[in-house]
Amino acid sequence: MKRLASLILVTLAVASLTACNTMNGFGEDLHKVGDKISGAAKK
């Protein structure tokens, strides 16, 4: 039972780190789009 609980805990930890990394990349992409829109508006 402890082994199953440990496996579930590790799986959740890896999934949460992956999701955090994905959201970070999405935020960077969104920032780049915002910069391009701002640059186009200034022209």
**pLDDT tens-digit series, residues 2-40:** 888 888 888 888 877 777 677 777 788 878 888 878 777
Measure the CA–CA gap between 15 and 25, rounded to whole angstroms. Answer: 15
Q: What is the pTM of this model?
A: 0.49
Please report, to the nearest 10 degrees, the dihedral formed by the alpha carbons of residues 21, 3, 1, 4 taken in order: 30
Measure the CA–CA gap between 29 and 31, rounded to whole angstroms. Answer: 5
Measure the CA–CA gap between 43 and 31, rounded to whole angstroms. Answer: 19
| Structure tokens that stand for 29 in this block | 């992409």
Which pLDDT does position 35 carry in this prediction?
84
Residues in the chain: 43
